[in-house]
Chains A and B, each alone.
Chain A
Amino acid sequence: MQEFLLILKGDGMNHLSPNELQDIFEAYKTWVEGLGENYLGGQRLEENGALLQSKNDPILTDGPFLESKEIIAGFFLIQAKNQKEANAIALSSPHLGLYSIEVRPIAFPKMS
């Protein structure tokens, strides 16, 4: 088993109605439950924060700093046998479509 970070980019949910959000919620919950122990965690990120580019540059605050489709909206940590299986998990996510999803393996060997 290998760990993967699913990085969700975009602002897709900001355009949904309450009913659509509730539908996503149901699908999302089913998806997480379906993953069972392969789901390791996940968080949504606020759009604001700070951007530090170098020690000398001023610290940019509040954000968002990128175009809306580039904003990282949140992430999931999952485990899968290989990249192919991790891709399949991302493909089955109800978030895909609202967000683009980058599937990145955690570098091996993992620090612990």
Chain B
Amino acid sequence: MVYQSEQIVERLFRTEYGKLLATLTKLFGPSHLQLAEDVVRETLISALSNWSTGEIPANPTGWLVQVAKRKALNKIKRNHMMLRHHHIHVLSHNSVEDIDAFFLDDEIKDSQLRMIFTCCHPALDTKSQIALTLKTLCGFGIKELAKALLSTESTINKRLYRAKEKIRKTQTPFTIPQGSELIEKLDTVGLSLYLLFNEGYNATGGESVIKKELCLEAIRLAKLLVDRFKDDHKLNALLALMCFHTARFDARIDDKGTIILFEDQDRSLWNRDLIHIGMGYLKKSLHDTVISAYHVEARIAAEHCLSASFEQTDWQVIHDHYLLLGKLKPNPIIQLNLAIIQSKLQGVEKSLSLLDNMAKNDSLKEYHLLPVTQGIFHMKLQHYQKAKVFLEKSLAMGPSNKEIAFIQDKIRECENMLPKS
């Protein structure tokens, strides 16, 4: 790749951080993740001070690799005794030539894959898996993690510290599993990436820019897995799903950051290239016997992406797939979606009666999007007084700031339609 001498690519530091860290973790062993993090950070700081006051090298990535290698070698020499104490295999890698092999392109990819499996180790809880993945593979800092995961810096710090301790104590290996273990671990990894993606896509709190980055990172890591495990149908379906959703990311909010309902979205803002790429993965995911929730979700998303307009959507197909999804992954939100889809098949009144029944159901009683939906459907029927009551009820159920703005807009719309008292 050719770089302009005056400029380095956006996010270069973050991208290279993930690659270098994975490589050095393989070199030092996952028990020394902290040591590897220190070396990478020092490497980036060296780059920063050298490039700011002099020339930016023609090949910044190569420069970083060279410096990281030298620093790693120094650490190995200096920490020889400590590492020997832990019986770490690193002892044999004590020359630049030995270390070189770790930095070949294929090896870097391999190390990143190992890092994914280590971060998504079943011994760690899901939140820790996601935080650790973002920290190590995606180069997120503590502040950025707190923002992205809607948490505090001290919580994130504690979580990461505990995760690293656990990796050290349980001697979690830095390997790609094989055979039947691989299939099982791929499921865990897939689920972590799915949740990481949802963290970016579904949470309506927080800044949109950083949320989108979560989605893009989830795609990048899923692609790394799919490139290696090409025939894994579930992974292909997962990646297809991520592509379809991300394609619609920018159409979901307006310039002021307010939510735009799916039916009101400007479809010309959808990213056609990404939809096309998603279709490719969806095709590869098809298999006679394997069907997962990812497949069904991807299929639903594809149907939406390919419909020319909201009105032209084939709601029967969407409905049938939601039914199937409900069987594969029983979940009250899916029931909510099914009730909403009924408005397209049997009319808004039918939907409303289903929603009223759900409101008595324990699992959705506290879910703010249920009264929001009821409110909006009553607006469609011009029941503005009823609509207003539901919308106001939802405000007390803990919606995010963006949702509050949206709900208040709708309440104002209702008030404008009601006779002035």
Measured CB to CB, the residues of A under 8 A from B are 13-22, 24-25, 28-29, 31-32, 39, 41-44, 74
Q: A28-B48, A28-B52 are in contact. Are A22 and B143 (CB under 8 A)?
A: no
Indicate whether B17 reaches chain A with its CB closer than 8 angstroms. yes
Are B45 and A21 in contact, CB atoms less than 8 angstroms apart?
A: yes
**Interface majority SS (helix, strand, loop, mixed), chain B:** helix
Measured CB to CB, the nearest residue on chain B to A16 is: B141
Q: How far is A25 from B52 in the complex, measured between Cα atoms in Å?
A: 6
Are A44 and B46 in contact, CB atoms less than 8 angstroms apart?
A: yes
Q: Shortest distance in angstroms between A17's beta carbon and chain B's nearest beta carbon?
A: 2
Are A22 and B13 in contact, CB atoms less than 8 angstroms apart?
A: yes
A residues less than 8 Å from B8 (CB atoms): 22, 25
Q: How far is A111 from B396 in the complex, measured between Cα atoms in Å?
A: 74
B residues less than 8 Å from A21 (CB atoms): 13, 44-45, 48
Beta-carbon contacts under 8 Å, B63-97 to A: none
Measured CB to CB, the residues of B under 8 A from A are 8, 11-14, 16-17, 41, 44-49, 51-53, 139-144
Contact of A18 among B51, B53, B139 (CB under 8 A): B139
**Interface majority SS (helix, strand, loop, mixed), chain A:** helix
Known contacts A17-B141, A21-B13, A21-B48; can you find 16 more A-B pairs with CB under 8 A? Answer: A13-B45, A14-B41, A16-B141, A17-B144, A18-B141, A20-B141, A20-B143, A22-B8, A22-B12, A24-B48, A25-B13, A25-B47, A25-B52, A29-B51, A43-B49, A44-B46
Most A CB contacts (10 A, CB to CB) among B44, B49, B139, B144 go to B49
A–B Cβ pairs within 8 angstroms, 6 of them:
A17-B14, A17-B140, A19-B14, A19-B139, A24-B48, A74-B49
Measured CB to CB, the nearest residue on chain B to A33 is: B52
A residues less than 8 Å from B14 (CB atoms): 17-19, 22
Q: How far is A16 from B144 in the complex, measured between Cα atoms in Å?
A: 10
Q: How far is A42 from B51 in the complex, measured between Cα atoms in Å?
A: 12
Q: How far is A21 from B52 in the complex, measured between Cα atoms in Å?
A: 12
Most B CB contacts (10 A, CB to CB) among A17, A18, A31, A44 go to A18
Q: How far is A22 from B41 in the complex, measured between Cα atoms in Å?
A: 12
Measured CB to CB, the nearest residue on chain B to A25 is: B48
B residues less than 8 Å from A43 (CB atoms): 49
Q: How far is A17 from B148 in the complex, measured between Cα atoms in Å?
A: 14
Q: Shortest distance in angstroms between A24's beta carbon and chain B's nearest beta carbon?
A: 6
Most B CB contacts (10 A, CB to CB) among A13, A29, A31, A43 go to A29
A residues less than 8 Å from B12 (CB atoms): 22
Q: How far is A35 from B8 in the complex, measured between Cα atoms in Å?
A: 21
